[in-house]
Structure 1
């Protein structure tokens, strides 16, 4: 009798486990279907008067003709790009940038002042941050941070309108990064210049950061997702003039799921910090290494627009998209950008 009872209990346990597995599988299968249905309505929101673009290092590292500068200015005007992050780094380990890497920055600044005076030019400076002994630049070292500030001064002296940091990875307990922002903000305020940062997309659930850290294997300097928590993002937003969210590299298997990702991060980020600082949601014009069929500029822009549609009210500060990157954007993609993002009355033939 005892054996029969045990077998009966075992069958019940197996049956319940089977139902639980079926339920979980059903949820997994329903997610793409639900995302597809959510994705179908055409978004109403259109773009704004503030948009950014990451530009290649060759603009400061190589000579250009007057015609090339004029063509760049025309591209910016046609596509309503207000802020350009010209790659001027990367930093050396000591926080410097060798002068031969930006020998043509002065000519670029003169051309921008002549042909695109209303566009804000920012020196895009980045490097791999040392984490647990691995990486290139150790910003925990006060001497390195001081050298970074001296490098910032060089670019502001050359005529750049601001400093744009892209230091990776940055984790939400990175006090050295916050100290660097404080010091840089003091400098940029003295110079009437901008300070902006590029950050990874925020966490889906901030309290899970310690779980990520404990469970996920370390890959070089990147040991768990470098995702800002809400508290960290709020703190950063209070120290800078602009935050560009690197929303791309979605790695989701369908276009509707990828679009949901862009919508979700657009809404969440603008609701959280849109009243504190200018926000640019990064959109890709390159094919990501994983699942390239699901993520492209069209999906990203549609997702951003859906996210804006979900806001109860527009943010108090300017917001827009950041195109990553100029060197991977074709003429057809710029046309798609204008057709899908810019307000119709502002679109120019180009």
Structure 2
């Protein structure tokens, strides 16, 4: 589950922490990506922005033992001179790592990156993942990353690259190719695929979208890394077909189309805690939660 910044940026009562823990346990949430950023352009995050992160981590560990508390960090990636953070700069990457270390010191169980856009030739991003993994593994923590849904046709990417810029209204889509997705999976513990925002006109097409990306992603990297397929509880702009039930059923369908289960655990990532109503949590439990013996989300 992706969770709002207020959990780390504002004070909360013990009752509020207990309520959060109860929600996590009732819905069998294994990992929570608490927004702790975004990064400044120089790779830092002012400590005042996450002044209550330590209290949050301590409370979740106390009231929901076993749930991993991850620091959700990201920024708009500087591309072709536009954007926020320049990951090509080694000094910026070093400050990102120091920020990660400071948050791990506060009790976070892992680091969750969401840099956008990430293109499939982004060597600096892979370099950052290598360095971050060394940090998280040295602390016994996890590294996860959010990525856009993979390409539909890898062969189209050179055409996009040749004809379209990487910025502007008509741009080369930042979709990971099969090869790039495997490179990322080899460097992290978890991959969360942001499969939402499908912008398709019917529920059947939206369900097909989630099924296809679930099956393909698990076939590609499900033996390497834990995979979470992102499902929405917000109301997408200009989208009449996408909702939580359609997404969950699509993910279930994609899993059912696999020739065999992945070797690593898999699950869904709920986006997001601040948009999910009690009715949607009930729908999630009825539609998604597996028997306790099924490997999901670990």
The verdict on a shared fold, with TM-score over 0.5 as the criterion, is: yes
Whether the 8 Å contact between 2:39 and 2:75 is mirrored in structure 1 is: yes
Structure showing greater relative contact order (alpha-carbon pairs closer than 8 Å, 6 or more residues apart):
1
Which consecutive residues of structure 1, in runs of 5 or more, have no partner in the other structure? 1-52
| TM-score in terms of structure 1 length | 0.82
The reply on whether 1:61 has 2:14 as its aligned counterpart is: no
Whether the 8 Å contact between 1:135 and 1:221 is mirrored in structure 2 is: no
Deviation at 1:213, TM superposition (A): 2.5
| TM-score in terms of structure 2 length | 0.96
The reply on whether 1:105 has 2:53 as its aligned counterpart is: yes
2: CA distance, partners of 1:344 / 1:170: 36
Alignment: residue pair count? 293
2: CA distance, partners of 1:290 / 1:142: 40
Residue of structure 2 equivalent to 1:323: 270
1: CA distance, partners of 2:170 / 2:49: 27
2: CA distance, partners of 1:237 / 1:128: 21
Which consecutive residues of structure 2, in runs of 5 or more, have no partner in the other structure? 294-298
Q: Which of 211, 226, 236 is matched with 1:288 structurally?
A: 236
Relative to its length, the structure with more helix (as a share) is: 1
Residues 232, 239 of structure 1: CA spacing in aligned structure 2 closer, same or farther, 3 A cutoff? same
Query: Larger radius of gyration, structure 1 or 2?
Result: 1
1: CA distance, partners of 2:119 / 2:111: 20
Q: Deviations over 1:170-201 (max 9, x none)?
A: 00000000000000011011001100000000
1: CA distance, partners of 2:88 / 2:118: 12
2: CA distance, partners of 1:196 / 1:290: 30
Residue of structure 1 equivalent to 2:89: 141
Residues 345, 168 of structure 1: CA spacing in aligned structure 2 closer, same or farther, 3 A cutoff? closer
Deviation at 1:344, TM superposition (A): 5.8
Q: Deviations over 1:261-303 (max 9, x none)?
A: 0000000000100000000000000111122x20000100010
2: CA distance, partners of 1:255 / 1:140: 40
Residue of structure 2 equivalent to 1:170: 118
Deviation at 1:117, TM superposition (A): 1.8
Deviation at 1:216, TM superposition (A): 3.9
2: CA distance, partners of 1:222 / 1:160: 39
